[in-house]
Structure 1
Amino acid sequence: MNASQAIEILKENGYKQTKQREMLIQIFESKEKDQYFPVKDILEEFQHEFPGASYNTVYRNLYTLVDLDILESTTLHGEQLFRLHCDTDGHHHHFICTSCGRTKPVEVCAIDQVNQSLPGYEIKNHKFEVYGTCPQCK
């Protein structure tokens, strides 16, 4: 995902291309693509350009970008983290390093087994993440 693709997704879904949304996307585009970042780090960078911006404004825009699949989010150590949607094609999940926040796609999914164990239930969505330490942090 890059900034122009993200802006196009916003427009296709009826959202305005605001300077604030552009700035948020640019912040993520400038960061490592395989790592999640906490809201406080994003807010700090965002406030260089928009000093009066509140935590709630940034958070609300981040969740709009998550809803549009421009960003991905996860919770690590009780903190909400965000990153640009990864470029891995197809259905996949992630290994997330608990030290540095870097991710690696996991191509295995247990949803078929879960479906078999829940006859009669309709699963709308799922999320599977594996946590541990990456080779660089070991």
Structure 2
Amino acid sequence: MNIEKAWEILKKEGFKKTDKREQILEIFSQTEKYITARDILDVMMAEHPGMSYDTIYRNLSTFVDLGILEETELTGEKHFRMQCEADHHHHHFICMSCGNIKEIHYCPMETLQNAIPGYQIENHKFEIYGNCPECH
């Protein structure tokens, strides 16, 4: 997702454009990696010394709820990245060392659907964790 699309969503949902929200979105637009709220705070403290972790986390939660960010949990901590703009269904390999991702163009749901006949699946999330070739 690009920043313009994110602002369209925020505006539609009644959120005001603020310098802090703008900076958070800018940070995400500059990376494909999953990053933490702490990573965002470290960057933002230079311009906003009084910035709180709670303010960042509230904004990140709002962005996830609105479909602007994706979230996953790595090593017991939530990590976030800009929502994929791909027009096809896919999943991700996520490097646990550097946070880089690789798209996986295979979905195991067809196989799993056959394993649980009669159950109606509403949604799913499939992620693979490990180390990328650079971190291995």
Provide the TM-score with structure 2 as the length reference: 0.88
- Offset at 1:117? 2.6
Structure 1 counterpart of 2:91: 93
SS in 2 for 1:72: strand
Cα offsets for 1:49-83 (capped at 9, x unmatched): 22222211111110111122211111111111111
Structure 2, unpaired ranges of 5+: none
Q: What's the C-alpha RMSD, in Å, of the aligned pairs?
A: 1.7
The percentage of aligned residue pairs carrying the same residue is 51
**What is the CA–CA distance in structure 2 between the aligned matches of 1:10 and 1:80, rounded to whole Å?**
22
Q: Which amino acid aligns with 1:29?
A: S
**What is the CA–CA distance in structure 1 between the aligned matches of 2:18 and 2:121, rounded to whole Å?**
35
Q: Is the 8 A contact 1:93 1:106 kept in 2?
A: yes
Corresponding pairs, count: 136
My pick for the range that moved more, 21-30 or 10-19, is: 10-19
Any residues of structure 2 matched to 1:1-138 within 5 Å, and which?
1-30=1-30, 32-33=31-32, 35-138=33-136
Q: Which amino acid aligns with 2:58?
A: R
**What is the CA–CA distance in structure 2 between the aligned matches of 1:120 and 1:21, rounded to whole Å?**
44
Structure 1, unpaired ranges of 5+: none
Q: Which amino acid aligns with 1:18?
A: T
Q: Which amino acid aligns with 2:75?
A: H
Q: Which amino acid aligns with 2:135?
A: C
Provide the TM-score with structure 1 as the length reference: 0.87
